[in-house]
Amino acid sequence: MGVASDAIYFAFHPSQLGVLVKWKLRHVPFHKRNETQESATAKICFEFLHQTGRSMSPIIKQLHPELRLPVCVFYLILRGLDTIEDDTSIPLVIKEPLLRSFKDHLDQDGWTFTGNRPEEKDRALLVQFDNIITEFRKLKPAYQAIMKYITDKMGNGMADFARKATLGDVSVDSVEEYDLYCWHVAGCVGEGMTRLFVEAEMGEISLINHSLYRSMGLHLQNNNVIRDLREDFDDGRRFWPREIWSKHVDNFEDLFEPKYLRNALNCSSEMVLNGLKYTCDCLSYLAALREQSVFNFCAIPQTMALATLELCFRNPAIFERSVKIAKGEALQLMVESSQDLEGVVKIFCRYVRRIQQKNDPEDPNFLRINVACEEIERFAETLVLKSVKLAKKKTEGKEHQAGSNSGQVIATLAVASIFVLGVLWLMAHRSLL
């Protein structure tokens, strides 16, 4: 947010100004970035992070020092990949091999790409991509391996969809195909981040074993696809699966016709219902994180995604434009999400209740939506209770261990004292003889 736009916004929304003040006064980063210790190329990376990911930049910059630069570099690598995939001016004969081989360029000193159209918003990142490669090659080998592995998976997935779109099929047929698209775009990112967290010992190994990262990524991408319906349609792209929209309208274009508004709203509510199926896994994922800055990094986007889903639910505006939650509400979510699991659970429950309140009895999915919301609330409340019990058990275990250690120390001192007294007695006895 620019200073001028902020001033204008809060002038018309004075009630939300208090949230901004609260955030500025109360929010103290767990880990402050020290720019004096950064290389010139690292500073360039953080500058590109600010330019290409304004919402993620502050959260990434407050990560634990062990992960701050690796996550920044990883974000920029995937942003570069996405910038190639998004540019419709790049012919398939260039785009496809470039996406599939993008990981190999990470080992190529000085590599850059100047083939984006001039108006592509993140073109400069690829023009100066050699700076990102320089910092990438300084990272730990384990981190590099994770990033290359995910870049390869994501690049090939994007290439598959780019080929399909070029051949004239710009739609998604089944929910399974839709999930696969969301996986390649966002799920892979979740897997990569998770592997970094676990490698840095800031998350439990169960995060990988149970593939909870998949739900984290798909929850975020479902939100994006629902929110950006109109924008994608105007660009000639259709990501809502035919399996869902064909239940409500005959043609995809009918979703934007006022006379089919009720059908369109029912269709959008089924899309939200499809997105809600990942919510419980997201909470389980957050419960397995072991470092506060990493928790914040993961929790804030998830709460904002759910808030956006609630905003989109049965909202006619999504057929006219992309909708966004208010700046003040976003700030409030950042404040509440930067605490603990219980705080995030309260947010999740608040928004699913709002979805229930807006649920239309005449919607064909009315009952399914209510059941889904109730299941999320029950799961969330149970998860908090388990977390509280686990924390209490760990505290009692530490206290027991401390007590046990104290007892061992006392016993050791007692034995040592008896031994010393015995030696002194023998020495005194011999001197008398």
Q: Which residues contact 392 (CB under 8 A, 6 or more apart)?
A: none
Long-range contacts, stretch 13-20, CB < 8 angstroms, 24+ apart? 13/326, 13/327, 13/328, 15/328, 16/326, 16/327, 16/328, 16/329, 16/331, 17/328, 19/328, 19/331, 19/332, 19/335, 20/328, 20/331
**Site of tokens 């609260």:** 22
Whether residues 154 and 235 fall in one domain: no
Domain total of the chain: 2
| In-domain check, residue 28 | no
Whether residues 205 and 151 fall in one domain: no
For the purposes of burial, counting CB atoms within 10 Å of the CB of 26, is it exposed (0-12), middle (13-18) or buried (19 or more)?
exposed
Catalytic: 227?
A: yes
Bridge partners of 203?
289
User: Which 3 state secondary structure label does DSSP give 2?
Assistant: coil
Q: For the domain that residue 115 is a member of, what is the CATH number? A: 1.10.600.10
pTM: 0.81
Identify the active-site residue in 33, 163, 230, 237. 237
pLDDT digits (tens, 9 = 90+) for 255-313: 999 999 999 999 999 999 999 999 999 999 999 999 999 999 999 999 999 999 999 99
For the purposes of burial, counting CB atoms within 10 Å of the CB of 159, is it exposed (0-12), middle (13-18) or buried (19 or more)?
buried
Q: Determine which of 92-106, 117-131, 164-178, 373-387 has the lowest per-residue pLDDT on average.
A: 164-178
Tokens of 81: 């990949």
Whether residues 122 and 146 fall in one domain: yes
pLDDT digits (tens, 9 = 90+) for 318-331: 999 999 998 889 88
Averaged confidence pLDDT in the chain? 86
* 347 vs 187: which has the higher pLDDT: 347
pLDDT digits (tens, 9 = 90+) for 134-191: 999 999 999 999 999 999 999 999 999 888 877 776 678 999 999 998 988 888 889 9
Identify the active-site residue in 68, 195, 214, 227. 227
Q: Is the pLDDT of residue 432 over 50?
A: no
Whether residues 269 and 332 fall in one domain: yes
Which structural domain, as residue segments, surrounds residue 219? Answer: 171-179+194-385
Tokens of 232: 């994608």
Whether residues 200 and 122 fall in one domain: no
Tokens of 357: 């309140």
Whether residues 130 and 251 fall in one domain: no
Of 348, 364, 385, the one marking the end of a domain is 385
pLDDT digits (tens, 9 = 90+) for 83-115: 999 898 999 999 999 999 999 999 999 999 999
Residue 380 φ/ψ, nearest 5 degrees: -60, -45
Catalytic: 297?
A: yes
Catalytic: 181?
A: yes
- Region 25-32: mean pLDDT is 62
Whether residues 361 and 381 fall in one domain: yes
Angle between helices 261-276 and 292-312 (to 10 degrees): 160
Catalytic: 290?
A: no
Identify the active-site residue in 74, 297, 313, 351. 297
